Structure 1
């Protein structure tokens, strides 16, 4: 993984010292809250409902075990013993004391981490596939390109005050696990017929108040021009994006207003001024960064292991966990493992205690190469586990509460912190997620349902990505009360789609029953092993809507 050089370490250390002085001046009232606001946002510090929230950057979701231990230490010493992993592959601490935040930033700097550009109208954390580098279906390793984008965008003065926040994702696998279509700029890297790395550039994606999927504006860009082309696209946005209305300031509104073809033309014209300029990537620069992503010292192993196969046959619980939480690897004898942060009512989706965070670091050292990942679904990944070690890993993960076998299933819920913490939220997300998880606490039943994504956002900002959940839940305000709007038909991956609202919203108490009726309709209409999204596509929304609104009184789902 990438390591700081002298320049990186210096600018992060200087930022810590700078913010320490800014906090001192705020606490002594030399700075008003209004003056302090943009300064704290530049350091990832938000004022939420009850306390300050600090969002720590995890570039493209990649962490070392040393960094992970530091995150656990911060949770215990500076927060309330836990952290929340977000859909931007970052971690958030919800109970920060202002006077201690500079010390937290200094602790982060000691392990090559920071909170810079995790907020504000700038280029945010670059995201990518959480299996990058080990995925069998990737054509190139996108981490090198992601790191080049990170270095280019950090402290980029021209783009420090964009019309609105700006998100970039890059994917290079046959199955898009970075959801590039829902980003301001999405990049898909691939090999052409000649074996050369090319980039497909999309622009104008985004969720929130006006959900729109990105459109291809460049289909065959040589990788050497990635920075100059992205720079040109953001420059066009910076020039023409609206600044009079924050709800219409995202690039998606600009692209929709002038049309994707016109926007691509504007970018192309802008690009001609910088096409072969200083931002053009050289092979030497690529190699400089690529050296930090060389494969670890994998052992030469058989693709199967007798003890592993025996455990699969003899232990049903282990076999189920493997079927949901263990994934393919490009190296024979190895696998990637997802550790679930979704145990049900025991913990909010995405939350991990200090003990769990440190346990994951230990597992990364014991069963891998000291590296781990954060998925945008809010789970944690061990990318390099020997198959022969999976049974021992599973046993330890179970003890830590991180082995729920529900990845990709109904209870693997994505949810933002919602109204319990966020001052922007219209409604709570966590109680709704836990109530649904409690209703569907039968793992056998959930397993039989197959793949279903359920995403919850506490407000229209869509931090829970509800638009792309097969079942989406959005918290809305109605005369000061919390209500929930439901969408169906969203999807991510190669077939990314936006869900459609099924009708009037529901009270919090109704939501478990609403989801139950949606699932009952699916089960009643399912053909063989159809996935939820396939049944929905075949029969349409009408049967689901009819069942959900059949009466206004909640009822308990009949026991099988």
Structure 2
């Protein structure tokens, strides 16, 4: 795992010193809020609906136990005892006081963390597959590349005031768990026919008010060319990107307006100019970084304790069946800790729970934790014989919900409970859906089903790529929820299709239940997943079930016309 060197430590300390002085000037009135805004955004500080919100970077979602424990301390000392993990693998504190922010940043620096470039029109926190370095299907660990990109992009003088924010995701697996197709740049580690490792690069993905799936700009960028190639892409967009209209400023609009072929031609020309300036220094940096991501020393493959617990304990078996994923090392598993207990706020963890997860990482997980874009926490390296004890401890602290990938494992943005941009609530809807299906006891019968909820058009809840997507809007002062079906965030990425008119807050849970009932009636057998069924039968049966009166009227109209 990456550790700061002297430069990193000095850089973060100086940024914190500068921001402390800026906060003092804001408090004494020397800076107006308008003058302070660009300064605070450079340091991850937002002014939300009720209070300031601090977004802390967790680069590519990787944490040590000591770092998670420090996040717990910050939550208790300077916030309200909890933190919120986000779809960009960050953590947000929703209630800090402005005067305390400099102390929080210094506390983060003590454990090699910061909030730099978690906001503003810069290259944001680089995200990656949360199973990186552990997954059995992995071509290569994407975290060294993500760290190289983080170092390159942090305070890059050309890219601090771009047309809009810019997001990069990296996956090292053919099974895309990093939502690369919905990013400004998506990077997929691949092998060519000669067995050489390189990168497939996508550009122009993004959600929000104009959702688009990224397009492949280069099928195979050699390893030595990646960083100059990325610089060429961002440089081209920084010049072309529109600054006259923030709704048309993202690179997805630039690619759409100019076409991928024209963008590719401009990028290749810029790449030819940029590449000689790197002179191999990026590869030297990458080699040093890769050395810090060496795999831990794994134990033997025997799993007698795990096997006995799996056979004897049905509660442990249910958790193991849903929350464990195959590891590349024999005898090990990847364990996901659900932050989606039924009726809880998706992505929230108390300080106590953070400390528990830190302890588990140090005792059983080679001191590694990951934050997933799905707002859960991952123990990437756990020997199977330790899992019964891990599960026991998780149960004691409300962290053993066996629902990873099921209908209650919902992604939800903070919505109108916190966010000044939101037009509807997200959290209560997620809670009600999870509670309804727990009461029905149908989660496991339904199987793999991704619900994603956003409280406004900005799509922080990734609703466009949910199997069932829910978008909360304001309709004449009343919350209204649009439903989309068929979205997919993986390597077969697709945008959901809108079902029709939206539903009120009182109707939306019933609408979701109708969609699920329709799926269960239409699927060929219990092994056919929701997305497979939807792609086979299309929208028609779902629309007919959701809008029966409208469907009957249309049929009658067609019959009369005939």
- TM interval, short-chain normalised: over 0.9
Cα distance in 2 for residues equivalent to 1:158 and 1:204: 20
Cα distance in 2 for residues equivalent to 1:269 and 1:54: 39
Cα distance in 1 for residues equivalent to 2:507 and 2:418: 22
Query: Deviations along 1:62-121, whole A, 9 cap, x unmatched?
Result: 000000000000111111111000000000000010011111001001110000000000
1:326-475 correspondence to structure 2 within 5 Å: 326-345=324-343, 347-442=344-439, 444-475=441-472
Cα distance in 1 for residues equivalent to 2:204 and 2:279: 23
SS of match in other structure, 1:293: coil
- Give 1:523 shift: 1.0
2:230 is the alignment partner of 1:233: no
Cα distance in 1 for residues equivalent to 2:191 and 2:520: 41
Cα distance in 2 for residues equivalent to 1:312 and 1:442: 25
1:531 aligned to which of 529, 532, 549: 529
1:497-512 correspondence to structure 2 within 5 Å: 497-512=494-509
**4+ residue segments displaced more than 6 Å:** none
Cα distance in 1 for residues equivalent to 2:203 and 2:401: 36
Cα distance in 1 for residues equivalent to 2:401 and 2:501: 33
Query: Deviations along 1:470-509, whole A, 9 cap, x unmatched?
Result: 0000011111221111100001211111001111111111
Query: Deviations along 1:361-383, whole A, 9 cap, x unmatched?
Result: 01111111111000000000001
Cα distance in 2 for residues equivalent to 1:312 and 1:274: 56
Count of matched residue positions in the alignment of Structure 1 and Structure 2: 549
- Is the contact between residue 329 and residue 336 of structure 1 (CA under 8 Å) also seen in structure 2? yes
SS of match in other structure, 1:217: strand
Q: Which residue of 1 aligns with 2:559?
A: none
Q: CA RMSD in A?
A: 1.2
Q: Which residue of 1 aligns with 2:79?
A: 79
Cα distance in 2 for residues equivalent to 1:320 and 1:200: 37
User: When the two structures are superposed, what TM-score results if normalisation uses the length of structure 1?
Assistant: 0.96
User: When the two structures are superposed, what TM-score results if normalisation uses the length of structure 2?
Assistant: 0.96
Cα distance in 2 for residues equivalent to 1:485 and 1:85: 25
Cα distance in 2 for residues equivalent to 1:266 and 1:284: 28
- Give 1:194 shift: 2.5
SS of match in other structure, 2:71: helix
Cα distance in 2 for residues equivalent to 1:200 and 1:296: 28
Cα distance in 2 for residues equivalent to 1:271 and 1:229: 6
- Give 1:282 shift: 5.4
- Is the contact between residue 413 and residue 460 of structure 2 (CA under 8 Å) also seen in structure 1? yes
- Give 1:275 shift: 2.1
Alpha-carbon distance change, 306 to 300 in structure 1, aligned in 2, over 3 angstroms: closer
1:520 aligned to which of 514, 517, 542: 517
1:242-391 correspondence to structure 2 within 5 Å: 242-278=242-278, 280=280, 283-302=283-302, 305-345=303-343, 347-391=344-388
Alpha-carbon distance change, 16 to 30 in structure 1, aligned in 2, over 3 angstroms: same
- Give 1:461 shift: 0.7
Cα distance in 2 for residues equivalent to 1:17 and 1:525: 61
Q: Which residue of 2 aligns with 1:557?
A: none
- Is the contact between residue 227 and residue 282 of structure 2 (CA under 8 Å) also seen in structure 1? no
Q: Which residue of 2 aligns with 1:556?
A: none
Q: Which moved more, 1:440-449 or 1:70-79?
A: 440-449
Cα distance in 1 for residues equivalent to 2:465 and 2:201: 20
